Every structure is written in structure tokens, then in C-alpha cells.
Amino acid sequence: MSHEPIPLRIRRMSQVISTDDIIPGRYKHMFTDTSELAKHVFENLLPGFAATIRTGDAIHCTDTFGIGSSREQAVSSLMAAGVKAVFAPRFGRIFFRNAWNLGLIAIEIPAMPGGDMDVVKLYLAEGRLSGPLGEASFAPPPQAMLDMLQQGGLLAMVQKRLVGRTRETAHP
């Protein structure tokens, strides 16, 4: 894993966020194209917010983030909108899995070293953030999660494994 810090602009939210808040149900049944979905993120809760997201933004939620449905589109639509990471004290468990499976960094952290629109630097493998308010630390993600991120996500890993198996069968 690279030890280069990742710069992130913080977008702060201060309430419990459900996956319905991130992307309303009907859109995920209408579209499989995530760029279509990206236009509708937070549409009910924060109208107009989607248009202000830029690549390299990170969401900092001060309450539980991503409770509710299993919709992976809650992750893929945030990623398509340009969000690179989400920080919260707690996550809905399915959202948390989906995030790492797809390569969205999700970190459990009680407080951040920067406020809304501040830029912070993330040292992922070290479990450290630095920003205008100082430093903050978190439990570094397990190696298995970092490996998944580096290899391009869960399905890329499955794909590699299957290719390996086919080769073994072809050339015992």
C-alpha cells in the first residue's frame, strides 16, 4: 500500500444518514449507470448538494452513516459523484462492507482535524489524519481491507482467483 498521503476536502453532515438519504430507492431500480445515479445523491435531504461535490471530497458525518438498505448504489453513486472517503463515528454494517468492497475508504473515527470545506491529509495505512485543527488517529484498516483496496475491490480479487484456477486446470 502506498504511504503517500491522500488530500481530501471535508463535507460535513451532522445527522444520522440512511442509504435512502444517500440515494432514494426508485433511482436504483431505474438506472444501472452510476453517473445517472450520482446526480440524485442526497436529493431528499440536502437538495442541491450533489452539484457541489467535486472529485476528492470526503464526507464527514458526526452521527451514524449509511444505515438501512443493502443498496450498493449508495456507495457507487457517491464514488461516481467524486467522493473518495467517508468518515463517521459508526457505520451501517452493509454500507461499510459495500464501501470497502468497491474501494470507497470508510473510516470509523470520533472527531476530525478539520471542519467543513477544510482540506485534510489521510495517511491510511498509518491510521492518521492531519488538518488545520491538528492530528487525529484511527485504528488502521486490517491488511485484508487494504489489499482489497489496492487490488481494485472484491470482484477484481475474485476475478484474479478464477483466472488462476482456470490456468491450473488447463496446465496441471
Partner 1 sequence: MTIVEAIIAAHAGRGDVRAGELVTAKVDRVYLQDGNSPTIRQLFKTYGFDSVFDPDRVAIFFDHSVIAPDLHIANRLKEAQEFAERLGVRVFRAGAGISHVVALEIGWFEPGTIVIGSDSHTCTGGATQCLALGMGASDAAAAMVTGETWLRVPDTLWLQVVGKPNRFTTAKDVVLHVLAKFKQERFLYKSVEWAGDWVEQLSLDGAATVANLGVELGAKATFLPPGPGRPEGMRPVAMPDSDDPRRIKVDISDLPPMVALPNSPSKGVPIDQCRGQRIDYVFVGSCTNSRLEDIAEVARVLDSASVHPKVYCLVSPGSQSVYLQALERGYIETLTRAGAIVTPPGCSACLGTQGSIPASGDRVLSTMNRNFLGRMGNAQAQIFLASPIVAAHAAVRGEIPRLSELA
Which residues sit at the interface with partner 1, rule CB under 8 A? Answer: 16, 18, 20-21, 24-26, 28-32, 44-45, 64, 67-73, 75, 90-94, 97-98, 101-102, 142, 144, 153-156, 158-159, 161-162
Closest listed residue to residue 35, CA positions, set 64, 5, 78 = 78
- The residue whose grid cell reads 444520522 is 16
CB of 6 to partner 1, least distance (A): 22
Q: Please give the grid coordinates belonging to residue 14.
A: 451532522
Nearer to partner 1, 76 or 114 (CB): 76
Residue 92 vs 113, nearer CB to partner 1: 92
- Strand 128-131, strand 134-137: pairing: antiparallel
Written as one letter, the residue type at 15 is Q
C-beta closer to partner 1: residue 37 or 129: 37
What is the separation, in whole angstroms, between the first and last Cα of the chain? 32
Query: Least CB distance from residue 4 to partner 1, whole Å?
Result: 26
In the complex with partner 1, which residue's Cβ is closer, 115 or 142?
142
The three cell numbers of residue 27 are 433511482
